[in-house]
Amino acid sequence: MKTESIKKNLTTRSKKAKIERFGKLVSFICILIIIAVVVAIFYFVSSKGLATFFQNKVNVIDFIFGKDWQPSSVDQSGKPLVGALPMIAGSFIVTVLSAIVATPFAVGTAIFMVEVSPKRGANLLQPVIELLVGIPSVVYGFIGLSVIVPWIRGIFGGTGFGILAGAIILFIMILPTVTSMTVDALKSVPRHYREASLALGATRWQTTYKVVLRVATPGILTAVIFGMSRAFGEALAIQMVIGNSAVMPTGLLTPAATLTSVLTMGIGNTISGTLQNNVLWSLALVLLFMSLFFNLIMRMIAKKGAMN
Amino acid sequence: MKFVVAGLALVGLMAGCGKSSSSSSDSTNQASTKKQSITAVGSTALQPLVESAAEAFSNENSNYQIDVQGGGSGTGLSQVQTGAVDIGNSDVFAEEKSGIDSSKLVDHKVAVVGMAPVVNKEVGVTNITKENLIKVFTGKVTNWKEIGGKDQTIVVVNRATGSGTRATFEKWGLDGATPIKSQEQDSSGTVKKIVAQTPGAISYLAFSQTDDTLKMLSVDGVKPTNQNVATNKWVIWSYEHMYTKGNPTTKVKKFLDYVLSKEVQGGLVEKMGYLPVTDMKVERDSNGKVK
């Protein structure tokens, strides 16, 4: 009798094991759904975005390097004017500019929060940064429109709308993201690195600069790339301050346009299936490839960091 | 993460569309107590009026649920054409939009809206000839002093390409001329703010969207007023259309009749700055012919 129950206990699954199996199944299904969604998005955007080239017979080179964006008009030879270079350039310039400005601020804040004054950093700066992340982008856009644009107009002249205004707004928007990721990177530097450096007689600044920052470089770079990918995809705030003029940027103070701003402005006014609609999907495809590109860079940096 | 959110939104959207299309295909003659849902999508210029009308209508008919969304005239027309929504709101005639088969759609004109060139208060101009208006928007005149204003650079602010307001303004205000490439803004609220605060700025807005932070220009001496729109003396105006695919179903017709009723036309429509379609002394077709 006793051996019987032991045998039964050993051969049937326990309740806990069943729950575990169930949990595994649920998470597996979730992963499958997510994969399916990603694949569906890629398929959807690609099929629509590539229609410009296959259905409407637009030359890919003309699309990427053309400088004239008037999707509803055609040139003398009857080709539609769908050059996306002004927007691609606009997106890149604002993204790079905002990242260049944001990085020193983010690294400085992060060093303060982790190395200089961890206590105040946690109590004071952490909530501030979290608050900045939570502000909706339309609010940033409105502040840009009401404060930054008139401010630029007052100092530099012109209309105030342009790449400079866009870069300033994006700088504020990506700052919290880059900062908090940099904080994580600094925090993950092992404590004994600092201890060893200090024990060798290095000052705190020397330790921070020559040891902590060096070790955390891959993490910081990841943070910057992540910020850039956020900036690249931002639409609403940038649309309100950049001026949305699809011409090649000639300076920081003249109106320009980004991929996202042209996309969001046009999509509601075009009919699905027409060239005007398809080229917008092509812009979306460019955006999708860009975020893929940013992701790949991040992975490469992270891999490199892990090997050290 | 972004993908996931976008994906879920997409799935939600599809589910939403599926639901509304199936409900629109419910045929006629349902019991009045049955839950009725109507979806109206499209023009952002018409959206506030339809929203208010829908609210008032479902207060009176508690079994009705009317879902009103923006998205632009293009979205409205294409969604109603595919049958995804019951009503497609549009600022332009379906005939004017490429990619739309207007023969399948039935037009219900619910209001008229006049549009006027608006300028920053400081430019020193109150009246403009049509010739000069075209010159300003095509970039042939670049300083206000050339047309009798202050010595100030003209800043042209356009609406998004393909927007209903822009189409109307280009057709009737600029006689079909293509404006120079300049700033473009999508939302009329943003346009209003930009024109009010940017020295030398000019753009165009529906009458209902202007206020005394900026100035409406008279064109060739004609003032932009609803009275002048009604007699077609002021030519920059357009109908607000609510399109249905084929003839409206009973439930949709009931709502459309309500929007066209005296109660709404004389009340809400006027209160919100539109012109009742019943007040119009003239009629204009999609080719611009006036009767």
Per-residue pLDDT of chain B (291 residues; tens, 9 = 90+): 444 444 444 444 444 444 444 444 444 444 456 788 999 998 888 888 999 999 999 998 888 999 999 888 888 998 999 889 999 999 889 988 878 888 889 999 999 999 999 999 999 899 999 999 999 999 999 999 999 889 999 999 999 888 888 889 999 999 988 898 888 988 888 899 999 999 999 999 988 888 899 999 999 999 999 999 999 999 999 999 999 999 999 999 999 999 999 888 988 898 888 899 888 888 888 887 887
Contact B273, B280 (CB under 8 A): no
**Structural contact between residues B169 and A79, judged by C-beta atoms closer than 8 angstroms:** no
Q: What angle do CA B200, A167, A65 make, to 5 degrees?
A: 90
| Residue A1: per-residue pLDDT | 61
Contact state of B162 with A276 under an 8 Å Cβ cutoff: yes
- What are the residue boundaries of the structural domains of chain B, listed by start? 37-112+238-272, 114-231
Class for domain A82-306, per CATH?
mainly alpha
Residue A204 CA to its chain's centroid (Å): 33
Q: Which residues of B touch A279 (CB under 8 A)?
A: none
- In this prediction, residue B1 carries a pLDDT of 44
pLDDT at A208: 92
Statement: residue A73 has pLDDT above 90: no
The token pair that represents B51 in the structure block: 């929203």
- In angstroms, the CA B277 to CA B279 distance is 5
Domains B37-112+238-272 and B114-231 share a fold: yes
- Whether B186 and chain A come into contact, CB under 8 Å, resolves to yes
What's the pLDDT score for residue A70? Answer: 85
Q: Is B87 helix (H, G, I), strand (E, B) or coil?
A: strand
Q: Which pLDDT score, from 0 to 100, does residue A305 have? A: 66
CATH hierarchy code of domain B114-231:
3.40.190.10
One-character DSSP codes across A197-252: HHHTT--HHHIIIIIIHHHHHHHHHHHHHHHHHHHHH--HHHHHHSB---S---SS
Question: Chain B closest CA to A298's CA: distance in Å?
Answer: 15
DSSP code string of A271-288: -TTSHHHHHHHHHHHHHH
Cα B246 from Cα B185, distance rounded (Å): 34
User: For residue B114, which of B273, B287, B290 has the smallest C-alpha distance?
Assistant: B273
Instruction: Return the residue of B nearest to A160 by Cα.
Output: B198
B289 inside 8 A of chain A by CB: no
Contact A261, A285 (CB under 8 A): no
CB contacts of A133 in chain B (<8 Å) are none
> CB–CB of A166/A251 below 8 Å?
no
Q: Do B161 and A71 touch (CB under 8 A)?
A: yes
From the list B241, B230, B215, the residue with the least C-alpha distance to B123 is B215
pLDDT band at residue A11 using 50, 70 and 90 as cut-offs? confident
CATH code for residues B37-112+238-272: 3.40.190.10
Lowest mean pLDDT among A151-155, A212-216, A273-277, B257-261: A273-277
Length, in residues, of chain B:
291
- As to burial, measured by CB atoms within 10 angstroms (0-12 exposed, 13-18 middle, 19+ buried), residue A199 is exposed
Is a pLDDT exceeding 90 seen at residue A148?
yes
- The domain segmentation of chain A, as residue ranges, is 1-57, 82-306
Q: How far is A7 from chain B (nearest CA, A)?
A: 46
Contact A304, A249 (CB under 8 A): no
Which residues, 6+ apart, have CB-to-CB distance to B240 below 8 Å? B43, B45, B46, B49, B89, B90, B91, B109, B110, B111, B112, B113, B274
Q: For chain A, what's the residue count?
A: 308
How much is the pLDDT for B190? 87
Using a CB–CB cutoff of 8 Å, tell me whether B72 touches chain A.
yes
Residue B42 CA to residue B68 CA, distance in Å, equals: 8
Asked whether B248 and B106 are in contact (CB, 8 A), the reply is yes
The tens digit of pLDDT for each residue in A227-275 reads 999 999 998 899 999 988 888 998 889 899 999 999 988 888 888 888 8
Residue to substitute from A269, A274, A278, A298, interface B, most B β-carbons within 10 A: A269
Nearest CB neighbour to A41, from listed B3, B186, B197: B3
Interchain proximity A265–B182, CB inside 8 Å: no
**Encoded tokens for A38:** 């990603």
Q: Which residues of chain A are within 8 Å of residue B4 when distances are taken between CB atoms?
A: 34, 37
Q: What is the mean pLDDT of residues A210-226?
A: 92
**Sequence-distant (≥ 6) Cβ neighbours of residue B30 within 8 angstroms:** B36, B250, B251
Reading the block at residue B26, the tokens are 């419910």
Q: Which residues of A touch B182 (CB under 8 A)?
A: 245, 255
Find, among B6, B65, B7, the residue nearest to B36 by Cα. Answer: B65
Cβ contact, residue pair A273, B97, below 8 Å: no
* Nearest residue to B67 via CA among B40, B49, B88: B40
A-contacting residues in B 209-268 (Cβ below 8 Å): none
**Chain A residue whose CA is closest to B7:** A37
Chain B residues 28-67 with CB within 8 Å of chain A: 44
Nearest to A269 among B7, B10, B74 (CB): B74
Give the model's pLDDT for residue B36: 86
Q: Which residues of B21-59 are buried (b: 16+ CB within 10 A; e: fewer)?
A: bebbeeeeeeeeeeebbbbbbbbbbbbbbbbbbbebbbe
Rounded to an integer, the average pLDDT of A202-221 is 92
Nearest CA in chain B to A69: B181
The span from the CA of B170 to the CA of B160, in Å, is 12
Distance of alpha carbon B180 from alpha carbon B165, whole angstroms = 17
CB neighbour list of residue B15: distance below 8 Å, 6 or more residues apart: none
Chain A residues close to B197, C-beta within 8 Å? 146, 149-150
Instruction: Check CB contact under 8 Å for B194 and A70.
Output: no
DSSP-derived letter for residue B122 is: G
**Chain A residue nearest residue B8, CA to CA:** A37
The token pair at B196 is 């009010």
